[in-house]
């Protein structure tokens, strides 16, 4: 009987820890040198928000906002899944955060699989009243972000020029089929080029929510890829890393952190929130900060 009590006590501690851990925001900072591509003097510092899923950190997302403002980045990049599919987008914690950020910094927003679900619903007429309300919420959410000056990079690019530095930021929105569980299809170069064209001149940042296609992004010409989606592998084990991916793959290769391929880099965020029944353990919410420097 004593072992049962011990087990119950440990289980209770785990539940309490999972709850408390969700309230923590960890900052992960990476310094990346441009290799002479586009950045010839100084550099840029920017914050990356991924997989927020409408999660709130204090009223109006005050704690997260303060953490970003303390960094005082040159701009903010959203690497997908700002909201959660099949749940109202507006009003919400995500909008409150982006509204305040947009008053202070340029904000560049690329889509993840949850935004893509809403796009699919919007582009294919639905008859269900509940779905119609969700689509209306998504449309209103996007419209309000545009009014705030947020650059929505849905298969679009923007070029930033500062002094002698040139950065191209491109958002890649891949179809929902590339996020399926099990064995997702191969992402061909013509799929990428057909959506976003060829890479631009200068340093090329590609916001691509799903990291499993890293090599394909590099082949396209990305110098730096910004991803999320894997949520750090949900449960992180010491010396091992993430346990499972959304594709239900054990020990995913691209779970979190910095990766290199043929001189190009990818930073995978562990994300800030969660959706449905997705416990995070030994995996606190993460705000990514990148110092992009000449060299």
In the chain, the domains with their CATH numbers are: 2-293 (3.60.21.10)
The reported pTM is: 0.93
Kind of pairing between the strands at 26-33 and 286-293: parallel
CA proximity to 229, closest of 109, 76, 51: 51
Q: Which two three-digit tokens encode residue 261?
A: 């391929």
pLDDT single digits (tens) 31-88: 999 988 888 888 899 999 999 999 999 888 999 999 999 999 999 999 999 999 989 9
Q: Please state the rounded mean pLDDT for residues 229-246.
A: 79
Please indicate whether residue 95 or residue 13 has the higher confidence score (pLDDT): 95
Beta carbons of 217 and 178 less than 8 angstroms apart: no
Rounded CA-CA distance 55/96 in Å is: 11
Q: Write the pLDDT tens digit of every residue in 196-205.
A: 999 988 999 9
């Amino acid at each position: 009987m004593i072992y049962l009590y011990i087990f119950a006590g440990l289980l209770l501690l785990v539940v309490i820890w999972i709850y408390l851990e969700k309230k923590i925001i960890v900052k992960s900072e990476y310094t990346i040198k441009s290799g002479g591509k586009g950045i010839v003097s100084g550099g840029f510092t920017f914050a990356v928000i991924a997989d927020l899923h409408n999660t709130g950190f204090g009223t109006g997302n005050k704690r997260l906002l303060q953490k970003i403002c303390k960094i005082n980045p040159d701009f903010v990049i959203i690497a997908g899944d700002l909201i959660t599919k099949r749940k109202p987008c507006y009003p919400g914690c995500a909008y409150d955060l982006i509204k305040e950020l947009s008053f202070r910094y340029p904000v560049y927003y690329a889509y993840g699989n949850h935004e893509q679900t809403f796009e699919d619903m919007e582009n294919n007429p639905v008859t269900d009243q509940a779905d119609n309300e969700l689509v209306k919420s998504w449309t209103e959410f996007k419209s309000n972000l545009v009014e705030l000056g947020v650059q929505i990079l849905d298969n679009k690019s923007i070029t930033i020029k500062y002094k002698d530095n040139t950065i191209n930021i491109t958002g890649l929105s891949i179809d929902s089929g590339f996020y399926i569980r099990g064995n997702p299809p191969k992402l061909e170069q013509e799929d990428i080029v057909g959506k976003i064209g060829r890479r631009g001149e200068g340093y090329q940042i590609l916001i691509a929510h799903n990291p499993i296609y890293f090599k394909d992004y590099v082949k396209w010409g990305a110098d730096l890829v910004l991803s999320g989606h894997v949520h750090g592998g949900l449960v992180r084990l010491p010396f091992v890393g993430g346990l499972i991916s959304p594709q239900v793959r054990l020990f995913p290769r691209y779970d979190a952190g910095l990766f290199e391929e043929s001189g190009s880099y990818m930073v995978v965020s562990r994300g800030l929130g969660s959706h449905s029944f997705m416990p995070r353990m030994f995996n606190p919410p993460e705000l990514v900060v990148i110092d992009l420097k000449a060299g």
